[in-house]
Amino acid sequence: MNRILEKRELNSTTVLLKLEAAEIAAKAQPGQFVIVRTGELGERIPLTIEDYDREAGTIQIVFQKVGAGTLLLGALKEGEMVTDVAGPLGVATHLDGYRKVAVVGGGVGCAIAYPQAKHLHGQGVPVDLIAGFRSKEIVILEEEMRRACDRLLLATDDGSYGQKGFVTDILREQIEVGAGYDRVIAIGPVPMMRAVCGVTKEYGIPTTVSLNPIMIDGTGMCGGCRVTVGGKVRFACVDGPDFDGHEVDFDELMKRNGSYREQEAEKKGHVCR
């Protein structure tokens, strides 16, 4: 059981939880995730570790209350216990040897992109953090992101904050004016990551994406998180979640992510009742 030390509502649907988790905090690296369960029969939800503090023995997770599992998790209060938190899982993001990096986050994916930017920035690597949201009301973690990069370039779809448009517009502009990125790291909704990879492929910039397929055990045994990368089957929970974005079969990923939409809606209906 892991105690909730702090709970912050970042916007109307997005929640940050700081959890007591000393053993996980001791080993966590940017890009790794935990599997969280609320209640004995709760769904297993994979959530990226947004931040960790080894000395305090805490980790932070950020999630959107969109399904049954995340609604139950989001209903817990400060001081209450999460039934279980397993991790850290997955392979840490490779962050060595880069000269200048664009970290691109979309929506709640910005919370997942943040630790990568923070780590690189802390190592003295120039980092532009390009963050995209639908509108101003749902912008999250702006101050944290600002502290984790050299430049925070914000975009909203409706132009209510930052530049009007998409992260891909800003990324292309920056590449065109000679930003000189030797790596792009993109984390967010699958269509966004695919669009980022489309841009970087044109310019020949290696691109890392963090994939979010359906996961169950998180240890390579169930096959639920199967993805195709470079024509080969890989398991996101143990081989990833980071992969070469130019090699990922995004169509297959989107199709597989929609496999249980009916069941997910039904379960959410039970929780909301």
**Residue count, binding to ligand FES (CB under 6 A):** 12
Beta carbon nearer to ligand FES, 71 or 238 = 238
- Site string (184-223) toward ligand FES, x via CB under 6 A: -------------------------------xxxx-xxxx
Beta carbon nearer to ligand FES, 10 or 215 = 215
CB 237 → ligand FES: shortest distance, Å? 3
Which residue(s) pair with 229 in the sheet?
232, 248
Instruction: Give the Cβ contact number of residue 233 at 10 Å.
Output: 10
DSSP classification of residue 269: H
Of the residues 237, 240, 242, 243, which one makes contact with ligand FES according to CB under 6 A: 237
The CA distance from 129 to 38, in Å, is 33
Contact set for ligand FES, span 78-137 (CB under 6 A): none
CB 227 → ligand FES: shortest distance, Å? 10
Known binding-site residues for FAD equal 62-64, 69-70
CB 233 → ligand FES: shortest distance, Å? 11
Of the residues 19, 225, 248, 253, which one makes contact with ligand FES according to CB under 6 A: 225
One-character DSSP codes across 125-185: --EEEEEEESSGGG---HHHHHHTSSEEEEEETTSSSSEES-HHHHHHHHHHTT---SEEE
Strands (E), the chain: 2-9, 14-20, 33-37, 45-53, 58-64, 81-82, 84-89, 101-106, 127-133, 151-156, 163-164, 183-187, 207-210, 226-229, 232-235, 242-244
Beta carbon nearer to ligand FES, 91 or 222 = 222
CB 103 → ligand FES: shortest distance, Å? 25
Beta carbon nearer to ligand FES, 67 or 132 = 67
Q: How is residue 141 written in tokens?
A: 């973690």
Beta carbon nearer to ligand FES, 84 or 173 = 84
Which residues contribute to the site for ligand FES (CB under 6 A)?
A: 215-218, 220-225, 235, 237
